[in-house]
Each structure stands twice: as structure tokens, then as C-alpha cells.
Structure 1
Amino acid sequence: MASAQLAADYRKAADNYFKRGDYSSAISYYEKYLNGGKAKQAEFDPYTSKMAGKQVPPSDKLQAVYQLAESWRLLKNYTNAAPLYAQIADDYNTYPLGRYHYATSLRALGKYSEAEKALKDFLATYTTEDQYKKAAQREILNLQFIQEQLGRGAAAYVVQPVSGGRTGASYAPVQLTPDTLLFTATWPDSSAPANKVHVNRLYKAVFSEGAIAGVTRANEIPSGQMHEGVASVSADGNTLYLTRWSVNKDKKSASIYISKKSTDGVKWSNPSLLDTIVNTPGSNTQQPFLTPDGKHLLYASDRPGGLGGYDLWMAELDVQGKPVSTVNLGNVINTSFNEQAPYYHAASSTLVFATDGRTGMGGYDLFYSKGAIGYWGQPENFGYPVNSVKDDMYFVSYGKGKKILESVLLSSDRADVCCLELFHLAKKDPLKQVIGQVVACDTKTPLPGVAITVVDIASGKQVYSGATDADGIYSFTIESATPLSSVATLKGYYTTSQSMQLPDAADELDSLVSTPVCMQKEVVVTENITVLRNVYYEFAKADIRPESFASLDDVVDFLKKNTDVKAEIGGHTDNKGSDELNLRLSEARAVNVVNYLVSKGIEKNRLIAKGYGATQPIAPNVNEDGSDNPEGREKNRRTEMKILK
């Protein structure tokens, strides 16, 4: 009898605490009631449901189990809530929302496929046309989207917090200067009154390479007694818009203010309230974003005339930065739910905003819409990892040109903390494929089986070693375009070492095709005359051009391998110009070649320089009809090596 009375007292106390919203106390007494005032396992343990399968408590305790589940859920302890909801999920006549809350608890625990099934079970039995049915239908789409996005992974991006380790929120980043970040935070302030330790204030920091440093309060911007933050700065750095708000009895009242930089170039004027064109009395107006041209102010507001919740609006500004008119962005952008935190990336003509009214991954997701001011395309979800299964909003791009996701700061509570934190998202540069080819210098035909070694010139590190395929092709990948040199080796050909000639826009390309390398056949000791390919001179001069050195080095290599060889270096020209001039020019060029070979270690007594001018053409300088023959002249302008011994 006493035990029954004690159980009744536990139940009564639990119900009273539950009605008053004191869920922690309610949990304590519901557990005592369900377990006879003893340990959880003594009588009925609702937490063992996962192991025990379809264990169902006595019918008189189902309501207590349901309200215990509700208590845990309302305290956001989904680990304890989920197995409790599982106990009453099949009694959908008595607890029609049991399956719905079971599903949302599973979702919060990351059990997305199970949550999707639970929602479908809920819709199969729930016939009321209300917000829960609509929410369940939307959430099924969200769960399917989550599973699809997480299945893709985030290999192309790196996401990391930049403001972790501090108690409180940090969010709404904006560029104050190219290297200075302005953002909002509720970090503890020892100078604030005891009841305002976590007031929203503006902070600034140096932002570089995905990290912040030198964090301080933005004291140059006058602050008042209200919360303030979510700012936007003009392109010239002289005009600042910010949100100020107060909270009275859980009711928020927010408006947008404007401030001008003082003549000293450091401090700002006391922020003044924008007029009623933007700040509608009785409504919240917040989160300003000034377009780079300074002509429009995007903002979020729950003012009348919207589609529901917070909508995005746009005000036209005069030259002083004051609004002259305002319009709703319309149903292409806005939904009956909430749209907030607008941002416009001018380089890519992209509007970015956060919403909880479209298919997404959870809470607020970041969406983008391509178009110009006033002409917006259908919004698309950025997907994972820009978005997470938590809230993601307040976006700013540091990307170059149109690369909006190259480097991004955003706010998210994905780190399982109390509130929003600043995160940096950076796109990994894809590996660049370098494609090279080796051909024979004389025939330009591909050479297979050439041993190739590629070295990073700056570091000296070998980045590739392999051989050409049947088409003379070789390829490898590198992280970034960097100066490279290659060495090509093939029996019967001179070893060729030279810098790899990559395309001009190498940094912007994922596939880089190098200029083909040509290899000279080894010269066999014979009385024959060999034309030295790829030996070039300055126009009408004897100076050897640097691109000739690789070919001349092959001659050096040959002469060093064949130490008993003596050779004549002969210079030849076409027949343009006087015979005397051509003779002098050809001899001077031959002398310069000999001098180069000697500078590389070849004994001078093994070499003879001789100029032949235009006396020994190997092709016609003019065609039969008397017209000029450029191809023939090019063949006649040559340097030859004749083996003398």
C-alpha cells in the first residue's frame, strides 16, 4: 500500500514538473515512478528497449514513458529520448506524434535511414492535415538529400573552425579591409554588467590563410546598450551598416543603423537609425548587406508584405547611402519559412542566403541563386560540406575572380557547440596532370620506351620517373604548376636535358601539355656530314641563341665519348646578301660554335671552323618559276659537323 502511494506521489510530482516546463525535475520523478523508486533496472527500464526489442511497458505507464521521452527531447537529449519513443511508437492512436518525435530524435542522432523509415510509418497512420504532416513530408526529402550529400563526401574541400576555444557564439563575418575581418561574437566581456556578459558585440581580427589573429573589440565603432552586429561595409571602407537589437520578455526588436567613418580615417560616427523605408515599426529588420556598387542594401525582415517568416528585401540607396525605396525579392527567393543572411558575390553574379524553407541538410542551409540585381535564378543548395546537418549561414567569399568556393568564411554550429562559430572552407586544388611527348628531331616521329626523369627545379625533388608509351607520351600529376626540368634517355640517341615548357595559364588549368622534347640520334663516326639541328643564331649575326645549347651539348657528349674524332664545324647561309658578307657571317658562326664546344671541355686542336657562305646549297633558294623558296633557304642556313678523323 505504501509502495503504491509512493509511486502515485512520484507520478504526481513528475506531471506537475512537466506542466511547468521543469523537464530536468520531471525526468527524475518519472524515472522513479517507472522503476519503483529504485534503480532503473529494478522494475521497468525504458532504456533497455533497444536490446529487448518490442518490450512494451504496462498500459498505465505508457503516458509516463511518453512524457519522459518528451522531457528528454525538449532538453535535446535525443540519446535518451529515442528508445523511449520507440516504446510507444506503435500505439499511434493514443500517441499520434510518437513516431514523428521518434523520427526527429533518430535524425538528431545521425541515423538518417532509420529516421526516414520512421517518418514514412508516421505518414502512413497520421491523417490530420497540419504542420506535423507537412513537416514530415519535407523532412523525408531532407533526409534523402542528407544521405545523398554525405555519400558524395567532401574530398575537394577542407573545413575547419577559425574561432574555436572560446565560450559563446561567433558569426557574420565581413571584410572591413582586405586583410581585416569584422564579425559578431557573444564572447564573455569582463567589463560588461553581470547580466550582459554575453551581449552581441562587434570584433575585428587579422584574417590570413584560413586563420584569424589579433582579435580585439571593434571599439572604434561606438556601441550602445543594445546587442549589435551583423554588419556590412562599403567598398571604399567609409560607410558601415549594422544591426542593433534588444530582447524584452523573449521578444526581439531589431533595426538597421548606418555609420560613417570620421575624417581621421579610424573612428566611426555614432550609428543612426535608417528611416521607415527599411525599418518598419513593429517588425524586425536585420542582417544588412551592401552591394559592392553601393547602390543597393539587401536585408532580412519579418515586415508585412512578405511570404512568411523572415524574407529577403532590397532597398535602393541614394548617393549618401540612405534608402529611397524597398522591394521584396519575391517568391523565386523567399518561401513561407525564413530566409536570412543575404550576401552578393559580384564577380560570379551570385546571391547567397540561408533558409530553413527548402530541401536541405538541417536547420538553416546556404543556397545560391545566379543572376543580377533584381533578376534571380532558381536557388540551389550548396550541398555538403558547405552545409551540414546543423545550422549554416552568414557566408563571405575570399575566392579569386568567379571562384566563389575557393576560400569561404561561414558560420555554423556543426562542431556540436552551443551556437554558431566561424568556419573556413577552402577548396583543395585538384592535382594537375602534366602530359609530355618525346619525338625524334629529324623525323618528328614519336619515340617509345624513352626513360624520363622529371625534377622540381626549385626543390630539386624528383616528381616523376617512367617511360614513354607507344605514342611517345608520358604523364604524371603535380599539386601545383611549378618550374620543372626533364631528362630523356634512349639508346641510340643523345641524352636530352631541358626545362619543360608548360602553357602560359598553367595555374588555371587542370591538364598541362608540355612542348614536345626532341632527341638527336647519336652521330656514328663516318666521313658523312651531319647537319646540327636546332642550332640558331641572332638575325644577321653570329651570336648563338640560348635554345641552341641543348643541341650543341649533344655534340659535346658525342665528342667526349669518341675521343679520337676530329671534326670540322662548317657554317652555311642562303644566297641573300653579298657573297663576301655571307662568307664572313658563316665563318663567324662556325667559330662561335667551336668556341662553345671548347668551353665545354673539348680540345681545340680537335676542331676546325670553316665558313662556306652560300657556295654549297642543299636545296634551291628560288623555285623554277623564279619565285622565292623560303623552305629551301631555311635548309641552306645550317651548321654542319664533318668527321675528319
Structure 2
Amino acid sequence: MSICLSLVYFLFSSILFTSSLFSQTRDNDPVLLVAPIQGPINTEFQEFGPTMTPDAKTLYFYSKRSNRGYTEIFKSERNKDGTWDFPEEVSVLNSAFDDQSPFISRDGKTLLLSSNRDGAIEVMLPDGKVGISRDLYVSNWDGKVWSTPVALPSPINTEEIEENPHLLGDTLLFTRYPFGKPNLAKVFYSQFQNGQWSNPKPLPSPINDSHATIAAAFNDDGKILFFASNRPGGYGGFDLYMAKIEGEKFTDVENLGAPINSSEDEAYIVFQQVKKTFLFCRRVEGKSFDIFTASVPKQENIVQKKLEETKKISLDSVYFERASSVLKPESSAPLDSIVDYLHENSDKKMKIIGHTDLTGTFEDNMILSKDRAESVKQYLVSKGVEPKRLVTEGKGPTQPVVQGTDEESSKKNRRTEFVLLNP
């Protein structure tokens, strides 16, 4: 088996304005660069459960490194050369017990983790002893520090083990299995509705099957699911897989192939949008899990180059429903390039200007252009950009690129402009 082509398509579709679809080797195979994460992150101890802040500048993971004998959550800051600094414990998130599986939401304001700290649900074991299950906890970011983690309520937490949380919008994914029986692990999901979490249900086949399935994660738009499984047909042990999401169904399940999967165990893969990089974990032969990265060769960032040169960029590839401010799905890719720029340049502020074509009434177009600019702003905010960094304006039909009402002219005039503002 070779690398999953769907994965390469996914990576390249997240990189805009490339001159070709694939960067290829001499053997005409797609390039995917896989390597241990750079910096003093991996040790002889286990490193697992990586997650990053939206700006890709801070890495969180868990490891057992102290003489206390418990797993703890660590963080590391990215250096200017792209390597990671020496990690430090995140004391506010850790307890005197096992703290694992950190996950940071796309807006950077919520952190979920798994822990068997005081307050976790007790389990009566077959031998009469009492065990402590691992439950899911939530912490919130106030702009400076994380809050003390609080346990999620029933029906999320049970006597069974809950770990590997992943949150997208109102949907929570997590791994659950009976105490001491990880071979029975399944991925569950719950939705936050009317102020409470729905009763968790296992994901349907073909995600869960008769083998262990763990650590599922969505991509940013919720159209792809990544997960780990030890089902037959893989490279050995646990392998990483991806599946397409079509409504409530999962289709086209594919093994991610080499060089991501190996004869050892791989698990817990997440995609970092800003750096166009996957983080995943691999059990190094004869050792414990380490954190690895998988990425395509670096592409020229046209958006960043244009903004640095002219302080503005105009995109006619941001599409809306006809006579509406509702963004079409295909607008995600160009807008994500703006998101990435703003995350990498956290000191920058930006004006979003909507323009319409020359058809329709002046009054309607002025309102529509303003609403579309606001819609774009809300999209950027949903991706973790602070609202105070963005202002909007609608120019309607007052600044056409070309004169004309034919479709070609109208397409050029219907555009969204992004202008950097002075601090």
C-alpha cells in the first residue's frame, strides 16, 4: 500500500494559488514529508495527544516525565526557526493524578482534557476494589490564562473511560471503553442542544467495528473524519484512517498509508490549518509514542506576499448565494488563507470591503455589500480571529473594476477586498 491520495488532495486543497496540484518526486509519487516534531519534545517517555493554538505558536501534549508517576499536560512555544522550545508543565490544567488528551478548539477559547483526578467517577471492579475512571473536563481561556478544569456532566462522563476529546461547533467526539478494557474502545459523539449534551452514541459503521477505534477528529469544515483503528488490513497495530462525511453517513474509508502508517502503532492525527501540517503519534520501535509531523513541501503564500507588498488584496473567489450574504462552501479555501495570515500576524487589523456588480438597484446593492462583508467577518471570527481586529464596509456598485453588466464583468466586480489598517 502507498500513501492515501485523498490525504494529499486534502492537503493541497488547503493550500491556495499553487502552480500545480501536486508536488512530485522523480518517481511521480506525491510528496509527503513525515518526521519527528522538531525540538526537545520527544523523549524516552511517552508523548501523546498533540494540539495547537489557532495561531500555531503553542503546542500542548501530555507525557509522563516527573517522579510523581502521573501523566501531565505540557506546552511548548514555537521558535522563530520553526522548532519547538523546551516544554513546561501547565500547572493550572494538571492535578495530582493522570491528566491527558488535551484538545484546543478552533477559536482557541476552549480546552478539553481527560483526567482521573479527585471528583472523577468511581468504578467498582470485579475483584471488589474501587477504580477511578477517566472523565472529560473543560477549561476556558480568558485571554491570559486557562481556568481550572471542570468536569463535563452526565451523560458524557460515566463509570467507563472517556478520553481523546475533539470538539467542532456543537459536536463532541470522544473515545469510550470499559475500565481496563481498551481493546473495546469505540468513538462516541454528543451534541450540545438547548443548553445540554445529548446522550452519547457510538459512531456508526464503518467507523466503529468489532475492533478498537480511538481518537477521532474532524477537519475544520466537518467534511472529513480522521481516526485510528487496529482493524485488519493495516500496516500493523493501530493505523490512521480517513473517511468522507456525507450527511449522517461515512463513506470512502481509506488507510492513510505509508509514510504515515508503519509496522508500529499510529494514532491521534490532527490537522493544523495555519501551518498546513498534520500532527500524529507513532510508537517508535522498542519505545513509547512520539509526536510526528506530516506536511507537503512549503508553497509560496501569495496572500501574505500581496498584503506585505500592497497592504491589500482583492478576491473574486469568495462566493455567496445569489442576491444573498450566505457564503458558499467553496469560499472556505480563499477565506482560510486570510485566516492563516491574521493568525500568523496577530498584531494586524483588517478592513473587509464588499463590492457588488452593476445590476440591481443602488440601495439594494449597498445593503448587500455591507451584509456580505459582515458575513465574511463572522467567518473569520468563527476561525478564531478576534472581532476587534476586523471592521467592515460595503461599497456596493460604486467602485467597479470594469464597466458592464455581462456575466464576465459582473464576476470581476463582485469581489471582497481585504485592506490592512494602520495600528
For this structure pair, what is the TM-score category when the shorter chain's length is used for normalisation? 0.5 to 0.7
Amino acid at match of 2:135: S
Aligned residues of 2:62 and 2:99 also touching (Cα < 8 A) = no
Distance 1:252 1:362, change over 3 A: farther
- Give 1:437-476 correspondences, 5 Å limit: none
How far apart in 2 are the matches of 1:419 and 1:243? Answer: 20
Which of 127, 134, 139 lines up with 1:254 in the alignment? 134
**Equivalent residue number for residue 424 of structure 1:** 293
SS in 2 for 1:377: strand
What do the CA deviations read for 1:195-227 (whole angstroms, capped 9, x no partner)?
x24x211111224676322522223x3322211
Between the aligned partners of 1:153 and 1:244, the Cα distance in structure 2 is 46
Using structure 2 for the length normalisation, give the TM-score. 0.55
- Does residue 302 (structure 1) correspond to residue 177 (structure 2)? The answer is yes
Q: Which amino acid is the alignment partner of residue 48 of structure 2?
A: Y
Measure, in 1, the Cα distance between the counterparts of 2:139 and 2:4.
Answer: 45
**Alignment partner of 1:160: what SS?**
strand
User: Residue 89 of structure 2 is aligned with which of 203, 211, 217?
Assistant: 217
Paired letter, 2:113: L
Between the aligned partners of 1:303 and 1:154, the Cα distance in structure 2 is: 42
Q: Secondary structure at the match of 2:200?
A: strand
Give 1:120-519 correspondences, 5 Å limit: 145=1, 156-162=31-37, 163=40, 166-189=43-66, 194=67, 196-197=68-69, 199-207=70-78, 211-219=83-91, 221-245=92-116, 253-262=133-142, 265-281=143-159, 283-291=160-168, 293=169, 295-302=170-177, 309-318=184-193, 322-347=196-221, 349-372=223-246, 374-399=248-273, 406-414=276-284, 416-428=285-297
Note the C-alpha offset of 1:182.
Answer: 3.7
Alpha-carbon distance in structure 1 between the residues aligned to 2:30 and 2:41 = 23
Instruction: Name the SS for the 2:198 alignment partner.
Output: strand
Q: Report how far residue 422 of structure 1 moved.
A: 0.8
Deviation at 1:429, TM superposition (A): 6.0
| TM-score normalised by the chain length of structure 1 | 0.37
- Find the residue that maps to 2:53 and give its secondary structure: strand
Please state whether the residue corresponding to 2:156 is helix, strand or coil: coil
The superposition leaves residues 105-147 of structure 1 with CA deviations (integer Å, 9 ceiling, x where unpaired) of xxxxxxxxxxxxxxxxxxxxxxxxxxxxxxxxxxxxxxxx589
Structure 1 residue ranges without an equivalent (≥5): 1-144, 431-478, 482-503, 509-645
- Which has a greater percent of helix? 1
Could you tell me how far apart the structure 1 residues matched to 2:222 and 2:244 are? Answer: 8
Per the TM alignment, residue 389 of structure 1 is displaced from its structure 2 partner at its CA by 1.1
Aligned 8 A contact 1:298 1:315 in 2: yes
Change (3 A) 1:210 1:422: farther
Q: Cα distance, 1:267 vs. partner?
A: 2.5
Is the 1:171–1:183 contact (alpha carbons within 8 Å) kept by the matching residues of 2? no
After superposition, residues 13-24 of structure 1 pair within 5 angstroms as none
Q: CA RMSD in A?
A: 3.9
Greater relative contact order (Cα < 8 A, sep 6+): 2
Task: Report if aligned partners of 2:73, 2:93 keep a CA contact under 8 Å in 1.
Answer: no
The one-letter code sitting in structure 1 at the alignment partner of 2:109 is N
Cα gap change, 1:319 to 1:171, in 2 (>3 Å): farther
8 Å CA contact 1:285–1:303 kept in 2: the answer is no
Which protein shows a greater Rg?
Answer: 1
CA spacing shift, 1:178–1:234, aligned 2, 3 Å: same
Task: Note the alpha carbon deviations across 1:298-323, whole angstroms, 9 max, x for none.
Answer: 0111269xxx8111111101476x52
For the 8 Å contact 1:205–1:212, the answer to whether it is kept is yes
User: Do 1:169 and 1:419's aligned partners in 2 also have CA atoms closer than 8 Å?
Assistant: yes
User: C-alpha separation between the residues in 2 aligned to 1:386 and 1:251?
Assistant: 36
* CA shift digits 1:478-522 (9 cap, x unpaired): x999xxxxxxxxxxxxxxxxxxxxxx99xx9xxxxxxxxxxxxxx
Please say if residues 167 and 187 of structure 1, whose CA atoms lie closer than 8 Å, have aligned partners that are also in contact.
no
Q: Show structure 2 runs of 5+ residues with no match.
A: 6-26, 118-122, 303-315, 318-332, 334-423
* 3-state SS in 2 of match to 1:279: coil
Over residues 267-321 of structure 1, what are the superposed CA-to-partner deviations in whole Å (9 max), with x where a residue is unaligned? Answer: 233222222211122x111110001x2x1100111269xxx8111111101476x
Q: Quick check: 2:177–2:184 contact (8 Å CA) kept in 1? A: yes
